[in-house]
Amino acid sequence: MHIKASKGYNVFRIINTIVMILVVFITLYPFIYLIAQSFSSDVAVAAGKVTFFPVDFTTATYKYLLKDNKFFRYYGNTILYSALGTVLSVAFTALLAYPLSKEKLRLNKFFTPFVVFTMYFTGGLIPNYILVTQWLHMGNTIWAVVLPGAISTFNLLLMKSFFAGLPETLEEAASIDGLGVYGIFLKIVLPLSKPIIATMSLFYLVGMWNEWFGPFLYLDDDALKPIALWVRQLVEGANSVDVGSTAEASSVQATLKSATMVLTSLPIICVYPFVQKYFVQGMTMGAVKG
């Protein structure tokens, strides 16, 4: 390793650095562009004057958004769906993963393939839609958003392999101490499983925060929509009439899209650097265990 680097390798390293800088730039540019737009005047944005930095710097768009009840309602809905969805999903996933991780349970020979099969063959869009709207009558309710995707089988298998890796002796000792099956799960297994619970929560939380398709299919009621759906409507221009109904609103029409997109992504961008390692771990764990 200490052999003098060749001239060709030095050239390569310079090129490599340039490539990396390019990738970093291309990755970040759309964010920079959105942020710059959101702090620019509506006129400058509509004229296409913004590229890197805000033009005619103003916080008018954000001021408008912070006064907009609608924005808060959508944002609040997203928070509510994300919180409820995450709790529900993690609980369901843990409840199923724990017994499936027990080799002594003989019926797992049936249940494991029963669950895994759904990774490769799903009912598809139409039967799901009919089930939720026509049979369960969950249209326009929060349940249509949080229930259909409550368990991700991929996450389930991750959690199962984590549980399977816990030392059996601890549970046996607790059993001898008189703890029942439920007590062992609550007092021994769950406290030991904080890392996987954190990972699962993050996986579900980000998924739920970004979710738009379920709400798009099942929520017609404006009051129930999450922020992602609102972003879609802004981008599609479907609500331009709605947005431009007041003089103040029409003065931020062009910048409203970018500001809403920035605020939608902000929590993720802020939290992401600190939790990135959990995602990476989850990803590699999934690959190893298959």
Partner 1 sequence: MAKDKSKKLKPAKTKQESLLHHVRKEWKLYTFLILPILYYVIFKYVPVIGNIIAFRRYKGGPNILGQDWVGFRYFEQFLKDTNFWNAFWNTLRLSIGYLLVRFPATLIFALLINEIRKTWWKKTVQTISYLPHFISLVVVCGMVKEVLSSTGPVNSLLSSFGMEKIAFMSEPGWFDFIYIASGIWQALGWGTILYLTAMTNINTELYEAAGIDGAGKFKQAIHVTIPGILPTIMTLLIMDIGNIITASNMQKILLLYNPMTQSKADIIDTLVYRMGIAGGNFSYAAAVGLFSAVIGLVLVTTANTLSKKFTETSLW
Give, as ranges, the residues between 57 and 76 that touch partner 1 (CB under 8 A). Answer: none
Q: Does residue 253 interact with partner 1 by CB under 8 A?
A: no
For partner 1, what does the binding mask look like between residues 125 and 164, x meaning CB under 8 A? xxxxxxx--xxx----------xx-xx-------------
Of 7, 24, 218, 190, whose CA–CA distance to 91 is shortest? Answer: 190
Tokens, residue 25: 């730039």
Q: At what angle do helices 60-67 and 253-289 cross, to 10 degrees?
A: 80
Q: Does residue 30 interact with partner 1 by CB under 8 A?
A: yes
Among residues 75, 163, 257, 259, the one that binds partner 1 under rule CB under 8 A: 257
What is the spatial distance between Cα 163 and Cα 230, in angstroms, rounded to a whole number?
39
Residue closer to partner 1 by CB (options 131, 246) is: 131
**Which residues, 6+ apart, have CB-to-CB distance to 20 below 8 Å?**
none
Q: Does residue 246 interact with partner 1 by CB under 8 A?
A: no
CB 38 within 8 A of CB 259: yes
CA distances from 47 to 38, 51, 114, 238 (A): 14, 11, 57, 21
Q: Does residue 169 interact with partner 1 by CB under 8 A?
A: no
Q: Does residue 114 interact with partner 1 by CB under 8 A?
A: yes
Query: Shortest gap between Cβ of 60 and partner 1 (angstroms)?
Result: 19
Stretch that binds partner 1, among 66-74, 158-166, 206-214, 239-247 (CB under 8 A): 206-214
Stretch that binds partner 1, among 56-64, 108-116, 158-166, 240-248 (CB under 8 A): 108-116
Q: Does residue 115 interact with partner 1 by CB under 8 A?
A: yes
Q: How many CB atoms lie within 10 A of CB 5?
A: 10
Stretch that binds partner 1, among 23-31, 56-64, 65-73, 239-247 (CB under 8 A): 23-31
Of 69, 58, 74, whose CA–CA distance to 252 is shortest? Answer: 58
DSSP state of 3: S
Of 200, 242, 74, whose CA–CA distance to 145 is shortest? Answer: 74
Q: Does residue 37 interact with partner 1 by CB under 8 A?
A: yes
What is the spatial distance between Cα 62 and Cα 55, in angstroms, rounded to a whole number?
15
Among residues 235, 238, 242, 248, the one that binds partner 1 under rule CB under 8 A: 235
Query: Shortest gap between Cβ of 245 and partner 1 (angstroms)?
Result: 22
Tokens, residue 118: 């759904």
Residue closer to partner 1 by CB (options 60, 96) is: 96
Q: Does residue 16 interact with partner 1 by CB under 8 A?
A: yes
Stretch that binds partner 1, among 63-71, 191-199, 211-219, 238-246 (CB under 8 A): 211-219
Q: Does residue 12 interact with partner 1 by CB under 8 A?
A: yes
What is the spatial distance between Cα 242 and Cα 234, in angstroms, rounded to a whole number?
10
Q: How far is CA 31 from the centre of its chain?
A: 18
Query: Shortest gap between Cβ of 285 and partner 1 (angstroms)?
Result: 10
